[in-house]
Amino acid sequence: MPTEDQVTEALRAVVDPELHKDIVELGMVREIVFHDDGHVHVTVSLTTPGCPIRSHFEQGVAKAVSALDGVSRVSTDFDVLSADEKEGLKQKLGRGNLPAGALAQVGNVICVGSGKGGVGKSTIATNLAAALWAEGKSVACLDADVWGYSIPRMLGIHGKPKISDQRKIMPLIAHGGIRAISIEFFLEEQDQAITWRGPMLHKAIRQFLEDVDWGELDYLLIDLPPGTGAVSMTLAQLLPQSQFLMVTTPQPAAQKVAKRAADTAKRYDLSICGVIENMSPFTAPDGQRHAIFGEGGGQELADELDVPLLGKVPLQEELRVAADEGQPLVLRDPDDPAAQAISHAARGLIAATPETVPILQAPPEPVVTGTPLPMAP
């Protein structure tokens, strides 16, 4: 019979098809049991109970172990990694090509993209962040639109980030809880012109992902520049597990451009979690309905991509004014129809992205007031 070490060594040939690492390195071999008739039993721990790749592991284990001398039979069963073990695995894996640990405490990375500029990506990204925050989620906005950065203006936050004792960049915090990082925070003077070349751009974005202490986050929203240029590719290389949220206006032309962008995103392994239609028809105070940018493009795009249409955000002056004044409309006037539409989209996004960060801290203790002072007579 082989030794346990020999079986373990053989099991290194079994590679998790999604994580691209072997099950020994991933810590997924729970137990190896030897029975006296040359029968070896292996228990493999999966990340989720309904893991569809069970048979892949079963065949891989059988093939690897049965090749060893003295083995007459191989059997496999499965259990599930505990929450702690999964956390350890996440730390070990890091994110994409980032070093281990970077963004490990981020539940969902959502890239907000569109085919072209001016469709309201940044408006949606900031308001969506505010809506997720209002729903009790921890959120951050990363402004990856390094040419047309607008997150600072729309969140009403400007300044220089502090560096922590661990030599990490601390995001600025808008409206009491929305973390944000933008290239603007690092410019020497406002409106300084920057010309980015590919490698520099790659480095800047990489640094935002690696060197910023994002902390525990349910959602990191990345406001992409228009189109599917170098930035999207850079991000895709760094963050293969991130998801893409497409913003489009209702007219057919915009929706076609958005479709092309979505196709590119798919090619770079970014999955698409939904579509938001912006600048949708609105009803004027006199009750008349106006469809300035046409109708139905969001639904068509969503159908074509086979993803949910998370919301239709009407064209609304208040949304623009609030953004210009640094206050997401979702926070300033939650009852406004545009704010409502974005909050609705946020709830849809929460439903579509169930993975959240494990809460490591216990909830705060209720405030205990001291013994009441004796009442004055």
Contacts to Mg ion by CB under 5 A: 121-122, 145, 150
Q: Which is nearer to Mg ion, 125 or 132 (CB)?
A: 125
User: In sequence order, what E strands does 164-301 have?
Assistant: 172-174, 178-181, 217-223, 243-248, 271-280, 282-283, 289-290
Residue 121 or 175: which CB sits closer to ligand ADP? 121
Which CB sits closer to ligand ADP, 302 or 322?
Answer: 322
**Interface positions, 331-350, toward ligand ADP (CB under 6 A):** 338
315 in contact with ligand ADP (CB under 6 A) = yes
- In whole angstroms, how close is the CB of 218 to ligand ADP at the nearest point? 23
| N-term to C-term CA, the chain | 89
What is the nearest approach in angstroms of ligand ADP to the Cβ of residue 56? Answer: 41
User: Considering the rule CB under 6 A, would residue 278 count as an interface residue with ligand ADP?
Assistant: yes
For 223, the token pair is 């406001």
Choice between 81 and 262, CB closer to Mg ion: 262
Q: Quick one: which segment of 11-19, 235-243, 314-322, 325-333 binds ligand ADP (CB under 6 A)? A: 314-322
Q: Least distance to ligand ADP from the beta carbon of 213, Å?
A: 26
Tell me if residue 156 falls in helix, strand or coil.
Answer: coil
| Cβ proximity of 78 and 45 under 8 Å | yes
Binding mask of the shown chain, residues 82 to 121, with x at each position contacting ligand ADP by CB under 6 A: --------------------------------x--xxxxx
319 touches ligand ADP by CB under 6 A: yes
Answer yes or no: are the C-beta atoms of 60 and 14 closer than 8 Å. Answer: yes
Residue 121 or 202 with smaller CB distance to Mg ion: 121
**Amino acid at position 189, single letter:** E
Restricted to residues 132-191, the positions that interact with ligand ADP (CB under 6 A) are: 150
Among 10, 246, 323, 350, binds ligand ADP (CB under 6 A): 323
Angle CA(4)–CA(10)–CA(13) in degrees, nearest 5? 145
Q: Cβ-closest residue to ligand ADP?
A: 120
Q: Which is nearer to Mg ion, 150 or 248 (CB)?
A: 150
Q: Helices 198-210 & 230-238, crossing angle to 10 degrees?
A: 40
Q: Which helix (H) or strand (E) holds 78?
A: strand 73-80
* Binding-site member from 64, 151, 275, 313 for ligand ADP (CB under 6 A): 313
**Consecutive H or E run containing 44:** strand 39-46
> Strand, helix or coil at 197?
coil
Binding to ligand ADP in span 39-78, by CB under 6 A? none
Q: Toward ligand ADP, which CB reaches closer, 108 or 278?
A: 278
Comparison of 29 and 346: residue with beta carbon closer to ligand ADP:
346
Instruction: Report yes or no: 244 and 258 within 8 Å, Cβ to Cβ.
Output: no
* Contact partners, residue 104, CB within 8 Å, separation at least 6: 90, 91, 93, 94, 95
Which residue's CB is nearer to ligand ADP, number 148 or number 199?
A: 148
User: Applying CB under 6 A, what is the total number of residues that bind ligand ADP?
Assistant: 18
Binding range to ligand ADP, per CB under 6 A, among 98-106, 172-180, 189-197, 312-320: 312-320
Backbone angles phi, psi at 64, to 5 degrees: -65, -45
How many CB atoms lie under 10 A from the CB of residue 112?
A: 25
Angle between helices 297-305 and 252-267 (to 10 degrees): 30
Torsion of the alpha carbons at 43, 45, 49 and 51, rounded to the nearest 10: -100
Among 103, 146, 181, 279, binds ligand ADP (CB under 6 A): 279
Element (H, E) at 113: strand 106-113
Instruction: Find residue 80's DSSP bridge partners.
Output: 46
Q: How far apart are CB 9 and ligand ADP at their closest, in Å?
A: 53
Task: Give residues in contact with ligand ADP (CB under 6 A).
Answer: 114, 117-123, 150, 278-279, 313, 315-316, 319-320, 323, 338
